[in-house]
Structure 1
Amino acid sequence: MQPPSSRPLHLGYNPIEYVNSHLYLGVWIDSNLSFRTEISFLKERTNLRLSTLRSLTDKSNGASYKVLRLFDIQAIRSVIDYCAPIPVGANPTLIQKLETTQNEALLIMTNSPRWTRLCNLRMECKIEAIQHRIKARAAGIIAKITHSATPLPPLTRVPASINLHPDLLKQSWTHCTVKAIRLFNLDTVIQQEPPTPPLSLEFIAHLTPPNFITYYTDGSVNPPKAGAAFICGTKTAAWRITDGASTLLTELVAIREALIDAKNTTVSPAIIIHTDSLSAIQVLRQPDRYDNINICSTIVNTAYQILARKTIIIHVGISGNERADNAAKQATNCPHSDIEVTLSH
């Protein structure tokens, strides 16, 4: 940043250097908020991965279209998705540089001639334009943050600007963000009251019938160690699982073991499982799975066997499950793995 005066700033006895741009959490912030440095940085990173994509298309033993598209989404577009709320206020001419990279990726994936219409390529590959993608991601992320129970202070200007006429807003990052939010009809979401905090375990226990069996599951990762646990009344079960397991995998192991334990229980008409992993529930609900297939299949099959004679209720977003969390953390200190699982890839 350019100094406001000739007097330098010091941290202790060390002078602080003034710079025109700074890399913060993987995003370049420049003094004018033009995001030119960030766009150039993204262009350089995506071009390197574009070369890898091109090398995968060898005519003799190259990858299939499905693999190429997956690489584009996971390795190239993810770089832009990470910082989507930042370049939403950038000049469209700068965004076009990123659009050029994606267009090149589409041509490579489909092995199409360069005179192919880009709109047809996007429809064929089901990949939206970068400009639209950045606005959609930014609008969704900003709406989620501003509508949370504890919104970040710098984003409080966005809800305040929602009801202003577009002509009254200066051309700024806030103006571009508000336009993106209006484009996807998320302005009504931001203006709603923030959601209530998660229900406590004490409140849930008050509503749960006494003859229901309740499990609390959790997983813990202390790289490279990993553990999983469940709590059911006075019973605590915990395991150390294969080193290198992801947080999602530990949560799935905890749910699986809770279901296996519940399968052998015949004294209750219903089973309630509390988990703090929304991603685990989302994975189990997917009809097609490409990862963690073995453990997900075991969970689903065990659940169907239980459903033949019991009711299963799975909750997510319950706060206060410290016992299961502590048990999973303690399991990571076990000298050997109790459960061997196939690591996700």
Structure 2
Amino acid sequence: MERAVLTRLQHCAPRRHHHIFAYSKGLGTKDNLAAIHSTIDGKDSIAVFLDLGKAFELAQRSVIISHLATKGITGKLLAWANDYLHHRKARVRFQNTYSDFVVFENGTPQGGILCPFLFNLLIEDLFTIPLSQNTHLFAYANDLQLIATGQARFPNIQQALDLLDNRCKCLGLKINPNKTQGLQIRHTIPNQTLYLNTERIQWVNSHKCLGVIFNERKDSSSQQKCLLERAKSRINVLRHLTCSTIGAGYHGLRSFYIQALRSLIDYSSFSILDLTPAQVNTLETIQNNIRSTKVDTTGEPAPRTWTGFPTNQNMTNHSYKVPHPWTPPLMSTVINSLPKTKAQSSHNDIRRLQETIETKVSDMDVAAYFTDGSVDPHLARAGAAFLINEETHTYRISNCCDFTG
């Protein structure tokens, strides 16, 4: 029902403002970032990043219905939208116990199909504010960016802040001053103060907006450092998934690369355009590391792993026969690390550890195995093998780790 109403509302209501990027078909955070970059490119600018606190909960029903009527929504469709927002009830269930109903008169029902559309309708009212020349407002959900350029940027942006704060109060919205920050880009004018209502706005040297860092120098050095740190941590995951004889296959690694690494670089494409040749070479080194990591792999996924064994998970293995569903588990495993590496442990240390294990489980059929993981000194791969009921079992363990089981 909500989807049918949404389709009708979208047909009747005209297109929203082009500076609203959230919950819009074909638009997203990258479009919002592109608009910010194009606005401040090569200009002395002031950017104020604002956050609407509890915006979805504080939106007034009467204001939303009034805007729907302004858009030309009338009759039963407008009445249905009014009933949809009026006298909403909710309660909490915890361990089969229900709380009392709470009635909500304000806000849009989060999780509903109509919620994004109605919220954007409310945010669109902010774009009717008459802003000064070279002053721009952008919105992505409850994140607002107010940017002013030119010589009169300080009085213009202060005037825009006053108008924006007053309009938000009329709509039932509240700007969170603790999350509002100001940033001077390119040319910094000292001893200047901006106010939101009566509270002073904090000046910062850099600000992270929608996952991208903007700094006062209008360069991409801060974003490059953040990108390198995030990429290196994900490359380490990719390397642990890679092995020439066992591990994730090429298609699995490629999917991980596209979703975890390539998407990270593509998202920062606007910042990469401002990098110097030396900074670009640093990112090129990361791409080369990824390429060499993906090449050194097999085309098949890993056979059996320690993770899947305790759950009796059937993994791909040519010598493995599928057990019957009623077959009890062959064994249960407990893997513990040595207090120190096997190379640093003496024979007496290992014997005492074995006696401790046997003492704890003396009444059970338990076998203890000590292994250095059979670490390959060249490739750093690790594995373990043992016999159970005249059947050989091989398992891969973490690279370069010592385990006892």
Higher helix share: 1
State TM-score, norm by structure 2: 0.26
When normalised by structure 1's length, the TM-score is 0.31
Q: Greater Rg, structure 1 or structure 2? A: 2
